[in-house]
Structure 1
Amino acid sequence: MQRSIVPGLVAAALALAAGSAQAAACDKPLFLTFDTGHMGVAPLVAEVLARQQVKATFFLANEKTLNDGRSLDAQWAPWWKARAAEGHLFGSHTFDHVYWRADRAGGGFDMRPTFGPQADHVVRMDAAAYCAELQRAATRFTEMTGQRMAPLFRAPGGKTSPALLAAAGQCGWHHVPWSPAGFLGDELSSEQFPNASLLQKALRDIRPGDILLAHLGIWSRQDPWAPAVLEPLITGLKQRGHCFATLAEHPTYRDALRATPTRP
């Protein structure tokens, strides 16, 4: 083993151990996850998670930010490094936020990147190209943090097919959707779905074991979700006896993560 990768492996092992200890004392766990976005609420999210002592799982893509940068660029590298040091878990969201559109009859997939040089064009990817796209986010994460990414991914929009999942699985990636009640609504219209109603619905419907989905900034929502809802949601769920863990402790993923805890 090369000396340069030891710190990342040690950090990953410590994070898994800490998650195990937390889960052992928790019989109503929830799994809070964040996909990247315009990053406008990222500092607030980090403050709330630290204040509430909540560990989350982040799925990383290189998305456009409010200052016309990118969520994985040099400006945000210290932010990701700090979250990694805090013991959160990280997975891929595809580097260019690539949507699955269709399986191709001759093999491969029609995909539509949201960002990057082929943004908003339908491109063909074979299994190897899709695996490489997932790995790009993992490689950038290691460059920013010195740690390795978990072998987890979330397809943009949650859009997949059995063939796409099989292709990702062949190169070691495990897909993470979200629970129906775990869709927290931060990408919905704030006129039709105001923050107060989203909070009320989440507190009413979320059940133990649910995977919750939010973002680090959504362009389309006029009244941002995170400042109004995130901390009241966490405190309200805690009052109902829930606790929070990363996906390293989720029964669907923990065995796979312990067998192969990080992406090279």
Structure 2
Amino acid sequence: MRPPGILAALALLGAAAPAWPAARCTGTIYLTFDTGSQSQAELVAATLKRHAIRATFFLANEKTVRGDHALDPSWAPYWKARVAEGHAFGSHTFDHVYYVRDGAGGGIVVKPQFGKEAGQRRAWSAAQYCDEIRRVDTRFHELTGNHLDPFWRAPGGRTSARTIAAARGCGYAHAGWAPAGFSGDELSSSAFPNAVLLKKALDGLRDGDIFMAHMGIWSRRDPWAPANLEPLIAGLEKKGFCFATLREHPGFAGDRPNNVAK
């Protein structure tokens, strides 16, 4: 008969074992979620927790269905809980700033979606662009006591060599997504029904692909996440895929990761 201490240790090891051992994985998918209306924030968190999946969240201070913004103090408990669960976090620019075009003299023309300059085109220097990315880290640390991981995602995936270089200059590598990893959750639900989007993802995703969805989209009549997130995960698990954060992605190794282009 084994001593009680050994039995307890074996029980702990069994409890910690993953539902799908790594040796049996046919590949790895990297689930990522951008902030949005946040209407699906709780559903996303609950679904990931139920499947013991760690994902990567890209944060911007976007207006939410609560009437506040995603990086307001009212969201601190939500983000603290995700930190405790071991998820990864990147910048999505503080005011959800869209790249418009390269400007004169090495500048960058941008258009913030939120904040005091919302809807206005502005000419920024590379340093100003970098500061916008780092604003998210500053607020995230205020809310959670933790810093972001060293990657970011441009709103709409719109980048140029100049924006990529500006971000890398302050330590952030860009993370886009695979063609099959575009969830389509911001498209018209009449033209792109959830069932069509789900099939596209399940048929097309391959080992190493980054998948992108939002935590709620204002304009889509039939939200993507309630219909598709659970069956997407279940379908990928059935194919033998495992999941990881971008911290584990081979393109993001080290303190200054290599760029992963969209």
**Common topology (TM > 0.5):** yes
Larger mean CA deviation between 141-150 and 86-95 belongs to 141-150
Q: Whole-Å Cα distance in 1 between the matches of residues 26 and 239 of structure 2?
A: 12
* Counterpart contact for 2:111–2:119, Cα < 8 Å: yes
Following the alignment from structure 1 to structure 2, what is the Cα–Cα distance between the partners of residues 27 and 249? 16
SS in 2 for 1:243: strand
1:177 maps to amino acid: G
Aligned to 1:250: 249
Give the equivalent residue in structure 2 for 1:85.
Answer: 84
Instruction: Give 5+ residue unaligned stretches, structure 1.
Output: 1-21, 260-264
Return the alpha-carbon distance in structure 1 between the equivalents of residues 211 and 104 of structure 2: 34
1:61 counterpart = 2:76: no
Distance 1:83 1:178 in 2: 22
For 1:29-78, what per-residue CA distance to the aligned partner results, in whole angstroms no more than 9, with x for missing partners?
00000000010100010000000111100000000011221011122110
SS of corresponding position for 2:228 = helix
Q: CA deviation at 1:255?
A: 2.9
The CA deviation at 1:23 is 6.5
Counterpart AA for 1:124: A
Q: Point out the more displaced range, 164-173 or 114-123.
A: 164-173
Q: Which amino acid aligns with 1:253?
A: F
Q: What residue number does 2:11 align with?
A: none
SS of aligned partner of 1:189: coil
CA distance change for structure 1 residues 23 and 250 in 2, over 3 Å: closer, same or farther?
A: farther
State the partner residue of 2:16: none
- The answer for unaligned runs of 5 or more in structure 2 is 1-20
Matches within 5 A, 1:66-77: 66-77=65-76
Contact 1:179–1:211 (CA under 8 A) maintained in structure 2: yes
Please give the alpha-carbon distance, in whole angstroms, between the structure 2 residues aligned to 1:221 and 1:95.
23
Q: Which of structures 1 and 2 has the bigger CA Rg?
A: 2
In the other structure, the counterpart of 1:194 is 193
8 Å contact kept, 2:171–2:256: no
Partners of 2:162 and 2:195 in 1: CA distance: 39
1:50 counterpart residue number? 49
Instruction: Give the CA deviation at 1:170.
Output: 1.1
2:26–2:239 contact (8 Å) kept in structure 1: no
TM-score (norm 1): 0.87
Q: For residue 204 of structure 1, report the CA deviation from its aligned partner.
A: 0.8
Alignment match, 1:95: 94
CA distance in 1: counterparts of 2:22 and 2:89, whole angstroms: 18
Q: Does 1:148 align with 2:147?
A: yes
Partner of 1:12: none
Number of residue pairs matched by the alignment: 238
CA deviations 1:147-201 (Å, max 9, x no partner) are 1111100000110110111111111110001100000111111001111111111
2:233 corresponds to which residue? 234
**CA separation of 1:106 and 1:41: change in aligned 2, threshold 3 A:** same
For 2:24 and 2:76, the matched residues in 1 are separated by 33
Distance apart, 1:208 and its partner CA: 0.8
Q: Which residue of 1 aligns with 2:176?
A: 177
Cα drift, residue 254 of structure 1: 2.1
2:223 is aligned with 1:206: no
The 8 Å contact of residues 150 and 257 in structure 1, kept in 2 or not, is answered as no
What percent identity do the matched residue pairs reach? 57
Q: How far apart, in 1, do the equivalents of 2:193 and 2:257 lie?
A: 40
CA displacement, residues 216-251 of structure 1 (integer Å, 9 cap, x when unaligned):
010110001101100110000000010100001111
Q: What one-letter code is carried by the residue in structure 1 that aligns with 2:166?
A: A
The answer to whether 1:117 aligns with 2:121 is no
In 2, Cα distance between the equivalents of 1:151 and 1:41? 25
The normalised TM-score by structure 2 is 0.88
Point out the more displaced range, 213-222 or 68-77: 68-77
RMSD: 1.6
Q: In 2, Cα distance between the equivalents of 1:86 and 1:25? A: 24
Deviation at 1:105, TM superposition (A): 2.2
